[in-house]
Structure 1
Amino acid sequence: MKQKSAKEDFLEDEEGAGWIVTYADLVTLLLVFFVLLYSISSLNMERFRQAFESIRISLGKDMTTLGVIEVMEVPQLDRKELTLEEIFGRRSREEAMVEDINAFVAERNVGDNITVQILNNKVVVRIQGTILFESGSEQLMPQAEPILGQIVHIFKAYPEYNINIRGHTDDVPIATLRFPSNWELSAFRATTVLKYLIEKGVSPFRLTATGYGSLLPLRPNTTAENRAMNRRVEFVLEKKG
């Protein structure tokens, strides 16, 4: 039987162990990747893209190269910054929006008038009508504009969400030349807020306005306090598509 030469043994060993080199490269690149993530708390998306475009992995005998990851499609944000939790899914965009709104509510000390929650993957922001409109009117009061202005700023940072503006009233009847019923009043109020958002730069393609009158109360219309809670404007934000 013909014995293999030392040269043949070396070539076979080198060919069989060739995967180790690729594996070692991969482990090294992954180490660099996680060190990079650990060293920062938030990422500028353009730097994020450039960093990952510069890191390549060689695969297979033909040495084709692939990026460590394909940089995900992220909507352009007003603030241009994403936290690591948002990028890698540890915190949803809905949760991030709720945190932003709650921070604004705490800063303005308007927690009695504004609430926000996530319902069925939608973000619902409720603002009591008493800080937006005078009784029986659809015109915004002066003190409403700073509040709505900050809300608009937050909404513009989340352009992937459509916004349904909903007007609600209590069950006390109204009958004026301008508003024959609460249906008209609630619809006019929702439309007034919609116009304000458009004037402040929110795309009209994201917006709808609906008046519900007294049809959907939060509480029974049995006390003055409950009726005040039911007079409200809601923003219901849902991801497009």
Structure 2
Amino acid sequence: MSAGQTIIIKRPKIVKGGGHHGGAWKVAYADFVTAMMAFFLLMWLLNATSEEQRKGLADYFSPSIPIAAVSGGGAGALDGEEVTRAPALSTASPTEGINDNLAGMPDDAMVAAMQAALIGEETELSDHISVRMSPEGLVIELTDRDSRPLFASGRADPSPILMKLTAAVAQALEEVSNTIKIDGHTDSRRYGNGLQGYSNWELSSDRANAARRMITQAGLPETRITEVSGRAATMPFVDDPLDARNRRISITLLRSGG
């Protein structure tokens, strides 16, 4: 090494400690942030909704909604009050919660509750009752069967099974203030009893009026009924135009203002 030449000494860098620890902490932190976001969102929702809305949401996911035939007997099946939670089977009437404006329960829960109230312990009625929601309101279909018709063939004389059905309807609706309408329907067979000018239109109208009389005689105030119509075969219940179920009485519990 010559005189005046610079000497460079390289020393290795020694790192003390544990070194790089990986990214596990990032995952844990992300989980924590997500949980906090969910918590604050829940708190915001609880603050933004009413007690009735919260009960309605809870009831939507509740398994306590009645879906089987249970007794609908006794007064107060439809109490007309705004109750948004469907009752447990063992403690209350199955239709508690169907209120005057049909807005207190999810549609499927309301349909199930009404079906249960109408059938009650009368299992023979189940083949003749169908309940559904429509834009107008809750529709109760009382359908015919070949083995047990609702009316005498080609006439508006009610059978014993229809008397039971209309009595069940009157009892289920007696304490709700909604108005109702009644429609009579036939199948597509041409009316052929020889009466001049008498057709399925007249027959369906006469049957609708017969149902109206039975419902009011069973206790439903006549002022609740706003419309009675005959539809003939224009609104079939099933696709087969000759199916017995197309011969029916439709009772619509109208929404408020409907």
Provide TM-score, normalisation by structure 2. 0.54
> Secondary structure of the residue that 2:180 maps to in structure 1?
strand
Aligned partner of 1:120 in structure 2 is 135
> Take 1:182 and 1:206, find their aligned partners in 2: how far apart are those partners?
26
Cα root mean square deviation, aligned: 3.1
Q: Secondary structure in 2 aligned to 1:133?
A: coil
Within 1, Cα distance between the matches of 2:126 and 2:133?
17
**How do residues 61-80 of structure 1 correspond to structure 2 at under 5 angstroms?**
80=79
Aligned equivalents of 2:219 and 2:127: distance in 1? 28
Tell me, in whole angstroms, the C-alpha distance in 1 between the residues paired with 2:185 and 2:84: 38
1:220 to 239, 253, 257: 239
* Secondary structure at 1:237 match in 2: strand
Give the 3 Å change call, closer, same or farther, for CA 78–90 of structure 1 in structure 2. Answer: closer
2:178 corresponds to 1:164: no
Larger radius of gyration: 2
User: Structure 1, unaligned stretches of length 5 or more?
Assistant: 1-33, 35-76
- What CA distance in whole angstroms lies between the structure 2 residues aligned with 1:179 and 1:95? 44
Query: Hey, what's the Cα distance between the residues in 2 that align with 1:239 and 1:90?
Result: 12
Partner of 1:91: 105
Q: 2:114 maps to what in 1?
A: 100
Aligned to 2:247: 231
2:186/2:200 contact within 8 Å kept: yes
| Residue identity matched to 1:168 | H
Q: Deviations over 1:43-64 (max 9, x none)?
A: xxxxxxxxxxxxxxxxxxxxxx
**Which residue of structure 2 aligns with residue 147 of structure 1?**
165
Shift of 1:79: 6.0
CA spacing shift, 1:94–1:237, aligned 2, 3 Å: farther
Task: Give secondary structure in 1 for the equivalent of 2:141.
Answer: strand
Q: Which region of structure 1 is more displaced relative to structure 2, 150-159 or 173-182? A: 173-182
Q: For residue 101 of structure 1, report the CA deviation from its aligned partner.
A: 3.1
Give the aligned residue type for 2:114.
D
Cα separation, 1, equivalents of 2:219 and 2:117: 22
The CA distance in 2 between the partners of 1:108 and 1:178, in whole Å, is: 40
Q: Residue 102 of structure 1 contacts residue 116 of structure 1 at CA under 8 Å; is this kept in 2?
A: no
Distance 1:194 1:144 in 2: 12
Cα 1:238/1:174, change in 2 over 3 Å: same
1 CA distance for matches of 2:180 and 2:196? 27
Q: Is the 8 A contact 2:174 2:220 kept in 1?
A: yes
Q: CA deviation at 1:105?
A: 2.1
Q: Which amino acid aligns with 2:180?
A: I
Call closer, same or farther: CA 1:79–1:214 in 2, change over 3 Å. closer
* 2:208 corresponds to 1:194: no
Structure having the higher helix fraction is 1
Could you say which residue in structure 2 is the equivalent of 1:137?
A: 155
Aligned match of 2:200: 182
Tell me how many residue pairs correspond in the alignment.
162
Q: Is the 8 A contact 1:97 1:154 kept in 2?
A: no
What CA distance in whole angstroms lies between the structure 1 residues aligned with 2:234 and 2:212? 21
Per the TM alignment, residue 137 of structure 1 is displaced from its structure 2 partner at its CA by 1.4
Q: Secondary structure at the match of 1:112?
A: helix
Instruction: Give the CA deviation at 1:175.
Output: 3.0
Q: Distance in 1 between matches of 2:209 and 2:120?
A: 27
Pick one of 172, 176, 190 that aligns with 1:173.
Answer: 190
| TM-fit CA distance, 1:112 | 2.2
Tell me the SS of whatever aligns to 1:183.
helix
Q: CA deviation at 1:181?
A: 0.6
